[in-house]
Amino acid sequence: MENPPLYHQTIADLAAGLRKGAITSTQLVQNSLDRIKSLDGQLNAFRMVCPERALEQAQAADRQLSAGKDPGMLCGIPYAAKDLFDAKGLPTTAGSSLLDKNIAVEDAHAVRRLTQAGMILLGKTNTVQFAYGGVGINHDHGTPHNPWSPTPHVPGGSSSGSAVAVSAGMVPLALGSDTGGSVRIPASLCGITGLKTTVGRIGRGGVYPLSWSLDSVGPLARSVEDAALGYQFLQGVDSRDENTWGLAVQEVLGELKTGIRGMRLAFAESAFWQDVHPDIDKAVRECSRVFKELGATVDSIDFVEAEQARQLNSKGLIIAAEAYTLNKRWLEAHFEQLDPIVSQRMIKGKAVEAAEYLQNNLAWRKLRSEALTSLKDIDALLVPTTAIPAMPIAEIDADMQTYNDRNLSYLRNTAIGNVLNMCGLSVPCGFTEKGLPIGLMIYAKPFQENVVLRAGYGYQQVTDWHRRTPDLSWVL
C-alpha cells in the first residue's frame, strides 16, 4: 500500500523516516508549517505559529540525530499545544483577548516534558474561552472549522484547535486538556484519537486551570500508538502539581501490542445511550464484533453509577464554583468583554454555597468507590463518545438556549467519566450518513490508561477508520 503524504503519517512512521535518513526534522517541520499556511486561513486551528523558533529547534534535532544522540522516538517530531499551556516567551491567552499580554516565564510541565523528548512546538491552538465548553465555539478568537465539512461545523471543545490541527494534517500530535470531555469530544467530532488521563497522571503545572478537581492533560493524535507515545513521555513528577507526587510512571509501550485476547469488555447501558443519534448507535454497537474476533468477551451491564454521576453533575456545581473562583477577576471587572456563552454560565458559580459544593464533592467520592466495586470484573466499558455528531455552527449558535442544550448533549457521556475519575480513550469507529466522524469511547478504572490504550490499539489494527482523512480540496 502506498504511504500517505508526510502530513498524514503517524509519529511511528515519521520517526522511522528520520532514523533512516529519508527525511530530516527540518524538512518535516517546514512541511507542517507549509500545511498550516495553506489551510489555517480557513480552518483557524492556530492562535499563533512560531516558525523561526520551530525551525531552529528542528535544526538542533537534526544535529542531535546525526551525532547519534537519540533521546527517543519523539525527537524531531512537530506538535502543537492548546493555548492553555505555557511556553516560555509566548502568551497564554486561554481563548480570551484579555490575556493577550500574559507572557509565560517558563514552560508548562507537559511542554517541558515533550521538549526533553525532542519534540518541536510549532505553535498554540485555539480553544474555547477559559476552556469552558464542549461545543468548541469561541466568539472572541474565532471558532475552528471542523475539516470534515465545507459548511462550518463545530469541532468540539474545548481542545478545538488541537483536534482540527491533527485531523487536517498540520501536526501529528497536539496537547489538550479534559475537564468534562475537552480532549475526547473534539477527537470524536474530528475523527482522530484522544486520551483522557486520570487526574495525576500528567502534571498540570503551567496549564491555565478551569477546575482543580477535574482538569487533566492528554494527547490528541492520529492513532492510539501515537497517543501512547505522547502519554509515555508526558508522565513524571510535576513540582507544581501535587497529584503527581509519589505516582510511578506507567510503562505502556511494551504492553500496547500484546493483544486483547481475554479482556473483559462491556457496553455500559442506560445513561450513555439515551437520545443517541442512530448512526452513532449502530457504529458503536458494531465494535462488539471486532473485539470478539480479537478474543475479548463483550457483555452488557447496567452501570447505574453512570446515571448517578450524571444527576450529581446536572448543574455543574463543582466546575462552575471552581471556574468562577479561578476567573473571578475577569468576571467581576470585564464581564461585558467576555464571550457570553462562557460568562453567563460561569458567573453562576458565584451563587454556589459552600455546603452545597462540599456535599456534592463528598457524594462524588462515595460514588467513585461504588463504581470501582461495580467494575471489579470488567476491564473496560464501551460507549459512544458523544450522543450526537458535529452540527453546523450556525444552527447551534442561533441562541443561548440552543447552545446550552447542544453543549449538554456533547458533554454528557464524557463528563460522567470525569466525575468518576476514570480514564478514557476516544477512537474513530465510523461515519454518519452525512460523512461526519463517529467516536467510540473506551473507559477504564482510574490509572488504567494501559488498559484503554491496549484495547484501542487492538481495535485499530483491524479497522481503518483512523486512517481516513478529510477531503480538504474545498480549502486548497
Q: State the catalytic residues.
A: 82, 158, 182
Q: How many whole angstroms from its chain centre is CA 433?
A: 25
User: 3-state SS of the chain: helix, strand, coil percent to 5?
Assistant: 45, 15, 40
Axis crossing angle, helix 449-461 with helix 224-234, rounded to the nearest 10 = 160
Cα-Cα-Cα-Cα dihedral sign, residues 411, 417, 420, 423: negative
Cell reading at 150? 465545507
Kindly report the number of other CB atoms within 10 A of residue 363's CB atom: 15
What is the side-by-side order of every strand in the sheet holding 216-221? Answer: 46-49, 120-125, 78-82, 173-178, 216-221, 193-196, 423-431, 437-444, 380-384, 264-268, 297-301
Instruction: Report strand pairing: 423-431 vs 297-301.
Output: unpaired
Give the integer Cα–Cα distance in Å for 464 and 428: 9
Structure-derived torsion over alpha carbons of residues 337, 390, 144, 215, reported in degrees to the nearest 10: 70
Burial bucket for residue 64 (CB in 10 Å: 0-12, 13-18, 19+): middle
Alpha carbon separation from 313 to 239, 316, 357, 418, 445 (Å, rounded):
30, 5, 11, 10, 19
The whole-angstrom separation of Cα 143 and Cα 160 is 8
48 backbone dihedrals φ, ψ, rounded to 5°? -155, 150
Give me 364's grid cell.
462524588
How many Å is the Cα radius of gyration of the chain?
21
CA-wise closest residue to 193 among 203, 183, 179: 183
392 burial class (0-12, 13-18, 19+ CB within 10 angstroms)? middle
Q: Nearest Cα to 80, choosing from 201, 149, 173?
A: 173
| Three cell numbers written together for 190 | 474530528
CA distance 138 to 97: 11
Q: Residue 470 has which C-alpha cell?
A: 478529510
Which of 27, 55, 77 lies closest to 222, judged by CA? 77
How do beta strands 120-125 and 78-82 pair?
A: parallel
